[in-house]
Amino acid sequence: MNTVLDAIATGNPATRCCQEETARFMQQVEGSPEALRKRLPIIYEKTGIDYRYSAVEDYARAPEDFTFYPRHWDGDPPTTAERNRKYREVAPGLAERVASEALTESGHAPEEVTHVIAASCTGFFAPGLDVELVKRLGLPRDTRRTLIGFMGCYAAFNAMRTAHHICQSQPGARVLIACVELCTLHFQISQTIRSAAINALFSDGAAAAVLSAQEDEEARGRLAYAGGRTLLDEDSGEEMTWDIGDTGFLMGLTARVPKVIAGHLPSYLDALLPADTPRTDVDFWAIHPGGRAIVEQAQETLGLTDDQVADSFDVLRRRGNMSSPTVLFILKRFLERHQEARAAGGAGFQRGVAMAFGPGLTLEGARFERV
């Protein structure tokens, strides 16, 4: 039985913010040290990001028109409860949009869906996203549901691994995955360069994927999930953190993260690939752009060409780091190229690798192979 990657759909909230304009916006924030405010333009410029998206319309407004943050920055910042209410207002609709598009592209009708897996770490409510998707999409009421929470940037891999186990054990399974993150809800007033760099990286987005169990003949020529791997660095638990505070969720991120990840990549990749498979046999690389330095370190460590990491850099440049949906934005590009090549009479890709990194520090990855 093959776990075929049928379709991926992606989307963002309506508010699109130019990185340069966002830096100027952040310079207006009262409470940040003057010396730090002066450095914000260069901090934002070095991210390699041109645009980001947000569920918070204030990022494109003048302070006197704020509806989420205190007007003129003269009041208390939004509480965690207020930020979570905004999440509940926006996240279900965004998840519904990309999930509906993924189902349409996959050719599967809503009533064919057997399982829903929702992943998010930027808000909580119950009944949750999984229930909302069943109701909004008109899925069968006996659709089995799984919610993956608070895993950060690598959550999509846990969702795909879960879908794979389902497809391997249940012939006829049709699994809908939806990842949605509204990271910009949790903006904090910057007091340090580190906190300013975190504010400069993250963006809002959603992605959905449909995976299905298919026999060899039906799956012939298509890309399928072929295995995954997890690696936990037990000595780096404090390098990347995500805590619930009184004014939103609080991100911790150190400058050591790219080097710690890069140090594990060669042995990690050797274990992820089939035995005796050289890296040159990998046709595409979907590396989560947690930041520009992470992709640069991965490229250098693995000896990848500029073309092999171009899609990771381009998604970062156009949309920022959206946490869990981000790697699906990159995988969507490769899936579409594979499908286009097959439609034109070609073979498409033979093998690809996708990876993401998050709290733990944890390395998560998967390989995809043509059936």
Catalytic residue list contains 153: yes
Distances (CA, A) of 233 to 3, 86, 230, 302: 29, 34, 10, 19
Catalytic residue among 17, 121, 153, 179: 153
In order of 205, 296, 308, the CA distances from 47 in angstroms are 18, 12, 20
Residue 67 CA neighbour count, 13 Å, CB half: 6
Contacts of 362 (CB under 8 A, 6+ apart): 154, 230, 231, 232, 233
Q: How does 261-275 read in b/e, with b if 16+ C-beta sit within 10 Å? A: bbebbeebbeebbee
Instruction: Please state, in angstroms and rounded to a whole number, the distance separating the CA atoms of residues 1 and 206.
Output: 29
Query: What's the CA dihedral at 206, 319, 32, 238 to 10 degrees?
Result: 60
Tokens, residue 68: 């989420």
Residues in contact with 316: Cβ distance below 8 Å, sequence separation at least 6, in sequence order: 47, 48, 49, 289, 291, 292, 295
Task: Name, in order, each residue with C-beta under 8 angstroms of 265's C-beta and a sequence gap of 6 or more.
Answer: 298, 301, 302, 363
Active site residues: 153
